[in-house]
């Protein structure tokens, strides 16, 4: 398996612009997680889905952030409008069903820089 795929790997954008991050989970995994990692705050869970349904979005910082999972093989995290404080590495992770649902497999991340 190719693992969790994220795109783009790097994104540089200007404040106010819309940013869309993409994720393809591992086939057969029914949990999908979006995390944000910064030096100041460490690794934070933003939102996670189970069977394409958002289960917990309490970590989404503001209404500027939105996430969708239209099908089992694709998810997006959108920031609109972006702000410099959104600069971070955004990780997508997926995990299989059942007891192994905590065994999360992470993608390589998208490094976002908002100037």
Partner 1 sequence: SQELEQSPQSLIVQEGKNLTINCTSSKTLYGLYWYKQKYGEGLIFLMMLQKGGEEKSHEKITAKLDEKKQQSSLHITASQPSHAGIYLCGADIEETSGSRLTFGEGTQLTVNP
Contact residues for partner 1, defined by CB under 8 A: 4, 31, 33, 42-45, 48, 50, 55-56, 91, 93, 95, 101-109, 111
- In this complex, which beta carbon is closest to partner 1, that of residue 12 or of residue 15? 12
CA atoms of 67 and 21, how far apart (whole Å): 9
C-alpha 15: how far from its chain's center? 20
Residues 6+ apart with CB under 8 A from 58: none
Q: Is residue 22 a contact partner of residue 112, using CB atoms and an 8 Å limit?
A: no
Select from 1, 59, 7 the least CA-distant residue to 34: 59
Using CB atoms within 10 A of its CB, is residue 89 exposed (0-12), middle (13-18) or buried (19+)? middle
- In this complex, which beta carbon is closest to partner 1, that of residue 48 or of residue 65? 48
């Amino acid at each position: 398996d190719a693992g969790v795929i994220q795109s783009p790997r790097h994104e540089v954008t200007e404040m106010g612009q819309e940013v869309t991050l993409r994720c393809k989970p591992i086939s057969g995994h029914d949990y999908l997680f979006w995390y944000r990692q910064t030096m100041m705050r460490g690794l934070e869970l933003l939102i996670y889905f189970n069977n394409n349904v958002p289960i917990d979005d309490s970590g989404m910082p503001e209404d500027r952030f939105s996430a969708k999972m239209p099908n089992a093989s694709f998810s997006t995290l959108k920031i609109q409008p972006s702000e410099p404080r959104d600069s971070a590495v955004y990780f997508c992770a997926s995990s299989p069903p059942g007891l192994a649902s905590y065994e999360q497999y992470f993608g390589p991340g998208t490094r976002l820089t908002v100037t």
